Amino acid sequence: MSACALVLMATTSTTLAFQSSTRPRWIRSKLSSPSTTCTSHLTQYRPSNTNKSMQLRLHLDEDDIDDEVIDFFVSPEQISFLRKEANKREARNKLPRFNLSTSSQQEDMENLPNETIDAISNLFEQSELIEVRGVSKNSKRKVYEMAQTLASTLENVYETPVIVVEIKGFAVKLYRPWSEDEDDNETMREGRIQLRTNYKPGQWTRKAKPIRDFRGQIITDEFGNSVKEVPED
């Protein structure tokens, strides 16, 4: 074999060895496959700043679960079912409604007048689904927050779950399950919604509510989410 051929083979071998040593370990090739740990690390999802709010919200939900036992859970599929049921009743004019006045007194959803609470309570006795109109009539941006606050306030008053089903414009549809005590003897009450949940009467617990400063404004964190705590009895 000539000297030129030997030099060429040595050069080729050195080049292949150098390429093999400098090849990133996570690149898949026929010669070697990356380890699971390395691949998982390199392909790990790095959340952007826009997802910080969702991460904190999930973190707060986990904190709420640690602070209290949440016995009533409604899945997205069940919410969709409740919306369809509410629309059916609305089409048949069988969805009870209540209109909130635009007075400053009733804009405070955490301190509703007794007349308002009694009126809504009477509607819930007629139907598990109702609609409340005139929520935050002066500010559409606050409708969602006030609707959630309204549901939370009613929960604390009734000591039973109150779920926000749908928000349209300045109106919110609410769902409050009837208890077994409200059935007639052993016969299921007419109009009662068959919703598969793990909820049983007497399992309700207080939910965390937003903390307010001395001016009555809701305190928020660095991500703009309200800071909450479980109210004392």
By C-alpha distance, which of 229, 230, 97, 207 is closest to 152? 207
Continuous H helices in the chain = 3-22, 36-42, 52-67, 76-91, 104-107, 114-126, 143-158
Residue 54 has pLDDT above 50, yes or no: no
What's residue 40's pLDDT?
34
* Location of structure tokens 């009477």: 122
Structure confidence by residue, pLDDT tens digits, 177-219: 887 665 554 555 677 887 765 555 555 566 677 888 888 888 8
As a whole number, the mean pLDDT across the chain is 70
In the chain, residues under CATH classification 3.30.110.60 are 72-179+192-204
**156: pLDDT strictly greater than 60:** yes
* Residue 73, CA distances (Å) to 179, 187, 199, 200 in order: 16, 25, 8, 11
Higher pLDDT, 72 or 106: 72
> What is the per-residue pLDDT for 67?
42
CATH number of this structure's domain 72-179+192-204: 3.30.110.60
Please report the pLDDT score of residue 128 as a whole number.
94
Q: What is the pLDDT of residue 218?
A: 84
pLDDT in the model for residue 147 = 92
pLDDT, position 69: 43
pTM reported for the whole predicted model: 0.54
